[in-house]
Amino acid sequence: MIELLKRYRLFFLVMFVLSAIILALFYNALSPKKQLPIYTPSMVNPEMVDSTIQHIANKKMHQIADFEFTNQNGELVTNADYDNTIYIADFFFTTCQTICPIMTDNMTWVQQQIADMDDVKILSHSVTPEIDTPEVLKAYALEKGVDDKKWNMVTGKKEDIYYIARKSYLAVKTGDPSELYDMVHTENFVLVDKKKRVRGFYDGTSMDDMHRLIQDIKILKERN
pLDDT tens readout for residues 19-52:
545 544 444 444 456 789 999 999 999 999 999 9
Q: Give the rounded distance of the alpha carbon of 110 from its chain centre.
A: 10
pLDDT at 223: 79
pLDDT tens readout for residues 41-89:
999 999 999 999 999 999 888 999 999 999 999 999 999 999 999 999 9
Q: Closest Cα to residue 128, out of 95, 173, 85, 89?
A: 95
Is residue 154 domain-resident?
Answer: yes
| 22 and 78 part of one domain | no
| 152 and 196 part of one domain | yes
Mean pLDDT of the chain: 89
pLDDT at 34: 74
| 47 and 150 part of one domain | yes
For the chain, how are helix, strand and coil distributed in percent, rounded to 5? 40, 20, 40
What does the alpha-carbon distance between residue 72 and residue 193 come to, in Å, rounded to a whole number?
24
User: What pTM, to 2 d.p., does this model score?
Assistant: 0.84
pLDDT at 7: 58
pLDDT at 26: 46
181: region left, alpha or beta (phi > 0 left; psi from -120 to 50 alpha): left
Inter-residue contact 49 to 166 (CB < 8 Å): yes
| 19 and 58 part of one domain | no
Is residue 36 domain-resident?
Answer: no
Residues in the chain: 224
Domain housing 12 = 1-31
The string over 116-130, giving b where at least 16 C-beta atoms fall within 10 Å of a residue's C-beta and e elsewhere, is eeeebbbbbbbbbbe
Is residue 210 domain-resident?
Answer: yes
